[in-house]
Structure 1
Amino acid sequence: MTDTTIPATVSPLRAPLEAAGARWAEVAGREVVRHFGDAAAEYQAVRQTAGFAERADRARFRLWGKDPARMLHGLITNDLLKAPAGQGVYAAMLTPKGRTLADLRAFRRDVDGAAELIVDIAREALEGTRDHLKKFVPPMFAKWAEATDSLIEIGVYGPRSAELLAAVLGTEIPADLAEDAFVEPEFAGARLLVAATREAGLEAGFDVFVPAEQAAALWAALAEHGTAIGARPVGFGTLETLRIEAGRPRYGIDITEETIPTEAYQEAGLMERAISFTKGCYTGQEVIIRIAHRGHVNRHLRGLLLADSAAPSPRTPLFNPENGRESGWVTSAAFSPRMGQTIAMGYARRELEPGATVRLGAADGPEARVVALPFGRE
């Protein structure tokens, strides 16, 4: 049987997280740290030095066997087979009708001469991805298993993140590593995968995939070396604020199975990173190509500036003040320290371009200004 899903266990980081003052929340049935008692200080750490976090909001799969890369390549929007060594791929996984089951990062690596893939997804996409792999990955060519509990993800984000990791790992981590590119240093006798990301407020950052047995030691080393530069642990609340400031959609809230990926990616500047228009066939490709030839989608993910309004709930409707019609909805929202006001992302009809205004919740509701993503780009 291919699916060897490991049941959820207590995180090896539970004790050090508790010791650091963790306050808990839940994401897709999994406990995550909401904050460590001072969210403002956590935000400033990522913006000024570095912050580190357990990414319990994420889930992972491992694929191996005869040809795992080719099997996954046929299920995602980007060209995994042409990615050079050390370059991961960001992509969407689609239904045959072009709807989004997951957005993911896939990393090809060699393990003792055999090909292996690490696939990183949002926890909200776990069930759909599992079902899709069961249906479309033949065991003759690739086997797979959930690796969420055996491979822990720790994020290190901020302008001094590379410096902190270099101190902990005893080897240089390139600060200018391209997004989704990765290196594989060793720590405590284990091989890590360190992938570059800009999701945390577009700051330099890295997601470190570490075997569960070494996760607590890595966390302790980050805490010890981080003290010297003012780095500190950060929670999911801070990471969400930074993600929204970066204009990066998250599966389960900004992207769902209702979403065609071009709606989320086109105006957020992620099309080139996520979709190849030259690769061969993949599930859902026909819809994507048809939209590309048509030249537009009917709605786009946009930024919203809300001034001093309270952060609206997801799915709060947006109204066009020119005709009073409902013309979209809010997805993610937070108060932004960088922008000095409440900001949100949401889907708006394509005629509501940056500079337009919308109303929140009702035709006469609070006003919001539509802006380009990422925030501050104007």
Structure 2
Amino acid sequence: MSEVTEEIKHVPLEEIHAALGAKMVPFAGYMMPVRYSSDIEEHMTVRNAAGMFDVSHMGEFILKGPKALDVIQQITTNDASVLPIGKVQYTALTNPEGGIIDDLLVYHTGDNEYYIVVNASNIEKDKAWFLKHLPAEGVDFQDISEDTCLFAVQGPRAHEVLAQLTSYPVKDMEYYTCAHMDFAGYKNVFVSATGYTGAGGFEIYIPNAIAKDVWNKLMKAGELVGMKPVGLGARDTLRLEMGYCLYGNDITDTTSPLEAGLGWVTKFTKKFTASDILQVQKATGVTRQLVGFEMVERGIPRGHYELMNAAGEKIGEVTSGTQSPCLGIGIGMGYVEKAYSAAGSEIFVHIRGKLIKAKVVKFPFVKK
């Protein structure tokens, strides 16, 4: 029987990335730019000035109607009822066992109107979950993922880039807010003060038809601050320095929000999928916890490396790890037995037959 291979999708601006010298790799079902120059150079550009990511592989849904909020409340862990128009909320979808289907952003964009952003690898799974919970009437659901490009301009000088292309006061936008604005010569462009880097910045959602023009105008505006295009390699090290979870690594269908340290987006003021299970888990305590750790001895932790105690007994596993460009040491995330989860706990990473010392630290690794 022949092996079935999943068809790789392509972002609309793939040719532009290739022309910029990007190395393209398959990621979450898409060919994506992993780097243009070097991961460290791109990482530090974002931390110190501004960088631009094409993350058009992400999924976007729109929910409209008098029962839109009801659906969101029923299937997400956070309380979207407190979200005023123009604000954004981080949340999670849970399965009936209390595992995480996906982590996502909910944007309250208008009366009875919400914009949902999900991870690329989970678009079809999340879409099916939303559709399964739609009432017979009262909600219109649209999947606009295939028609939408997403650019993330990130870094402390990102506002200087956007300000050249809009009269909207982007510098005054608070973190986790969103707005429609005239931008780059187009009306009603959706922009949010969100991102996955911890460096501040914006995400710009645009129709595919104008994506190339907007990208080029942003790149031109970015010359003012030395902005560079940035790939997935630096995106991963940037998010890891902040302790942000990556779906498929640090959170999965078998990890609960409480185990993953996402109790802050798990609100028991309402009923949602598996909320009863998670309430019991909160009352009795979790047996394992996602933690951050820094290497005390020289070494770079990688996903699936074993985490051990001083006696050489396995106490967990690395879910994400790298050499921190800002700190110059190895950092990682992983699940450990609850007894080893407190900040300052001594743990060891099993690297090529040796136990390399590390210590548990509080997120983020790099303080803002």
Q: TM-score, normalised by structure 2?
A: 0.90
**Does residue 338 of structure 1 match 2:334?**
no
Aligned-residue offset at 1:144: 2.1
SS at structure 1 position matched to 2:191: strand
1:275 to 251, 258, 266: 266
> Which amino acid is the alignment partner of residue 372 of structure 1?
K
Gaps of 5+ in 2: 1-6
Partner of 1:213: 209
1:122-143 C-alpha deviation (Å, 9 max, x unpaired): 1232232122123222342323
SS at structure 2 position matched to 1:332: strand
Gaps of 5+ in 1: 1-6
Partner of 2:347: 358
Written as runs of structure 1 = structure 2, the 5 A alignment for 1:108-147 is: 108-110=108-110, 115-147=112-144
SS at structure 1 position matched to 2:326: coil
Alpha carbons of structure 1 residues 157 and 308: separation in structure 2 relative to 1, 3 Å = farther
1:171 to 157, 168, 172: 168
SS at structure 2 position matched to 1:138: coil
SS at structure 2 position matched to 1:283: coil
> Which amino acid is the alignment partner of residue 317 of structure 2?
W
Contact 1:75 1:283 in 2 (8 A): yes
Aligned-residue offset at 1:375: 0.8
**Number of residue pairs aligned between Structure 1 and Structure 2:** 359
1:290-333 C-alpha deviation (Å, 9 max, x unpaired): 23333x32222111212575533322221111x43211110111
Contact 1:8 1:149 in 2 (8 A): no
- State how far apart, in whole Å, the 2-side matches of 1:107 and 1:15 are: 31
Contact 2:148 2:208 in 1 (8 A): yes
1:155 to 152, 155, 166: 152
1:316-354 C-alpha deviation (Å, 9 max, x unpaired): 221111x43211110111111111112111111121122
- State how far apart, in whole Å, the 2-side matches of 1:213 and 1:129 are: 26
Contact 2:39 2:233 in 1 (8 A): yes
Aligned-residue offset at 1:9: 6.0
> Which amino acid is the alignment partner of residue 355 of structure 1?
G
Written as runs of structure 1 = structure 2, the 5 A alignment for 1:1-378 is: 10-110=10-110, 115-175=112-172, 177-178=174-175, 180-187=176-183, 188-197=185-194, 199-200=196-197, 202-266=198-262, 271-272=263-264, 274-278=265-269, 280-294=270-284, 296-306=285-295, 309-321=298-310, 323-352=311-340, 353-361=342-350, 364-376=354-366
> Which amino acid is the alignment partner of residue 74 of structure 1?
Q
> Which amino acid is the alignment partner of residue 73 of structure 1?
Q
SS at structure 2 position matched to 1:264: coil
- State how far apart, in whole Å, the 2-side matches of 1:82 and 1:376 are: 30
Partner of 2:3: none
1:67-87 C-alpha deviation (Å, 9 max, x unpaired): 222212211011112211111
Greater mean deviation of Cα atoms: 42-51 or 191-200: 191-200
> Which amino acid is the alignment partner of residue 316 of structure 2?
G
Alpha carbons of structure 1 residues 341 and 212: separation in structure 2 relative to 1, 3 Å = same
- State how far apart, in whole Å, the 2-side matches of 1:376 and 1:82 are: 30
- State how far apart, in whole Å, the 2-side matches of 1:224 and 1:231 are: 9
Contact 1:175 1:204 in 2 (8 A): no
SS at structure 2 position matched to 1:331: strand
Structure 1 runs of 4+ off > 3 angstroms?
7-10, 307-313
SS at structure 2 position matched to 1:149: helix
Contact 1:66 1:140 in 2 (8 A): no
Contact 1:191 1:210 in 2 (8 A): no
1:277-296 C-alpha deviation (Å, 9 max, x unpaired): 32x211111122223333x3
- State how far apart, in whole Å, the 1-side matches of 2:317 and 2:47 are: 29
- State how far apart, in whole Å, the 2-side matches of 1:64 and 1:14 are: 32
Alpha carbons of structure 1 residues 356 and 22: separation in structure 2 relative to 1, 3 Å = same
1:8-50 C-alpha deviation (Å, 9 max, x unpaired): 8643322322222111122221111100023232112111111
Greater mean deviation of Cα atoms: 34-43 or 124-133: 124-133
Identity %: 27
Contact 2:299 2:356 in 1 (8 A): no
SS at structure 2 position matched to 1:186: strand
Alpha carbons of structure 1 residues 308 and 325: separation in structure 2 relative to 1, 3 Å = closer
